Chain A
């Protein structure tokens, strides 16, 4: 136990004296600072009054397609654009779009058909949908007026507001999506990054033969747990520094951000979810770090590390993909996710996602966590055994069967 404490301290010091580790942390904090201060700078550079130039939207329409009415309706519907009626030739319009003079153009071919011209169709471009709605609206109004209805009546009918209320009994997936995504992504990044670091750390000790001394000075279990827990602490501290500074910086610039739903939701994670996040984060981190450490001990050269850790990384990437796909599909309770949320290597991400975005009963969470804790400890001890055998195997990287044999014999 005493040894464990010393190893932990020594390894932690390694991270905090590591220039890359410190550099990356500082860099990330700086990036976040720039992002957080961005709205403030924006208002700083653009004094009030100088209204922003809106992109131009051309609408080509003639009498038969009611140019005046269209202009009015489009201007109301597209508040983000400066709507202009044009009579120019199609080729001129296209020319203007490709030269960025105007952003887009609707060329009406009849009251209910049009062609939409745009330079690069962005994924979030909803203009055609809006335009179709507007045109449908106009067409219906005209039809009603044509059939003899009074204009007031028509306006009333067309402007009828449907009032509905949403009462959410479970979780609001829309709101939770962003912080769940951030958490899953952070877990993914940190495990890959630190897993590699643990593996490299072990392999470096092996290749520099510092291992020869370590293995005769300390118990392999102390070594393994000391190393892995130190990296976990370093990871947590790094994340705390990054998210902590993000929170502080956001608070400083809150007034400039206005009501940004996404950012608001990120900083309003419910406390019990934060606890779950911490639990799954730590356990998920440890279980993978142990495996990375064990693999690192079997590599005989530093260059071999990347190929050796590939199977673990692949496993982890698959788990990540399952979670992210289920999240974007909006169904985090599918069978695959349910199964994954009980398997130790996938449960940190999938169970957390289910807790965050859906309703999971307490006993299911408890079972998942217990399975995870037991297997983390189990894998910890197995990896310490692999470590003891692996670090003394020089030469070519041993086959898995050889390692298993050696562990049984040891």
Chain B
């Protein structure tokens, strides 16, 4: 399964929210939609889910325009919200039924998920009697109970303690293994880095970076070296301003060209007391700040 957004444009009144947004997400892999607050992530998700139409552009599934009657989608909105005063099993059943399940199927599936997420004891309680983290888990069930083909999780880890985060990770991995399209939207780069094979970074309504995370990292200019040494001051003195200290005490040496990498590395090892020298590989966080941060 391949989900593809092509050249999506959207404005609200005079304000242009999305400009030529295109990206592709594949089944069996997790996709990360990144961007700062107000970059247009939620709007893109809403268009993807047919909450409102785009001004132009289209959403494709496996090459043909998506048919919303046939594709089941699960959604965990960033703004969490269910009926606070209603019994949990009642509202979960309602939402699953709205997604087209029969009552019997819905109850069966929900009971499975309550069990899976260790929430069975809350089945007949009112939602507002639960802690925030547990409400979050209930919310997750609304996104998964009807066994959707496409799962959209907006900031799924926010508000979860480490144990629950681990549980959620397992669940998400399970879904990915089942071949579903899992679309993440998050600011928490460590989770995205752990899960997502491909990403798209939105900045001010435009896709500024899109592709396989591995390729993005590989294509990143390999013109920086990380040096761990006992004698940093000496190196700094010799290399001047191109060498800076990083936060964890290592040195970062910026080369004038990536091609002189080998020469410089040999030179370093021969002339200084070096513990370790390696090519700098940016973390997703670095990449994100670089691509999404320029409008600060």
Task: Write out, one digit per residue, whether chain B residues 1-31 have a CB within 8 A of any chain A CB (1) or not (0).
Answer: 0000000000011000000000000000000
Q: Are B77 and A217 in contact (CB under 8 A)?
A: no
Q: Are A208 and B13 in contact (CB under 8 A)?
A: no
Q: Are B94 and A6 in contact (CB under 8 A)?
A: yes
Q: A3-B98, A7-B98 are in contact. Are A208 and B77 (CB under 8 A)?
A: no
A46 contacts the other chain (CB 8 A):
no
A212 to B51, CA, bound (A): 10
A215 contacts the other chain (CB 8 A):
yes
Main secondary structure of the interface of A (DSSP, over half): helix
User: Chain B residues with Cβ under 8 A from A392's Cβ?
Assistant: 46, 51-52
Chain A residue nearest to B75 (CB atoms) is A216
User: Chain A residues with Cβ under 8 A from B53's Cβ?
Assistant: 410
Q: How far is the CB of A296 from chain B (nearest CB, A)?
A: 16
A406 contacts the other chain (CB 8 A):
yes
Partner of A210, one of B13, B75, B83: B83
Main secondary structure of the interface of B (DSSP, over half): loop
Q: A388-B52, A406-B12, A406-B13 are in contact. Are A211 and B98 (CB under 8 A)?
A: no
B223 contacts the other chain (CB 8 A):
no
Q: Are A215 and B51 in contact (CB under 8 A)?
A: yes
Q: How far is the CB of B54 from chain A (nearest CB, A)?
A: 11
Task: Write out, one digit per residue, whether chain A residues 209-251 have a CB within 8 A of any chain B CB (1) or not (0).
Answer: 1111111111000000000000000000000000000000000
Task: Write out, one digit per residue, whether chain A residues 379-410 have a CB within 8 A of any chain B CB (1) or not (0).
Answer: 00000000010001000000000100110011
A210 to B77, CA, bound (A): 10
B73 contacts the other chain (CB 8 A):
yes
A208 to B126, CA, bound (A): 14
B74-107 contacts to A, CB under 8 A, are: 75, 77, 79-84, 90, 94-95, 97-100
B49 contacts the other chain (CB 8 A):
yes
A78 contacts the other chain (CB 8 A):
no
Q: Are B77 and A209 in contact (CB under 8 A)?
A: yes
Q: Are B97 and A216 in contact (CB under 8 A)?
A: no
Partner of B142, one of A3, A205, A213: A213
A-B pairs with lowest CB-CB distance, top 8: A209-B81, A212-B77, A217-B98, A209-B79, A210-B81, A216-B49, A6-B97, A216-B75
29 contacts between A and B (CB under 8 A): A2-B100, A3-B98, A10-B94, A13-B90, A205-B83, A208-B81, A209-B77, A209-B80, A209-B81, A210-B83, A212-B75, A213-B75, A213-B77, A213-B82, A213-B95, A213-B142, A216-B46, A216-B73, A216-B77, A217-B98, A217-B99, A388-B52, A392-B46, A392-B52, A406-B12, A406-B13, A409-B12, A409-B13, A410-B53
Which A positions have Cβ atoms within 8 angstroms of B? 2-3, 6-7, 10, 13, 205, 208-218, 388, 392, 402, 405-406, 409-410
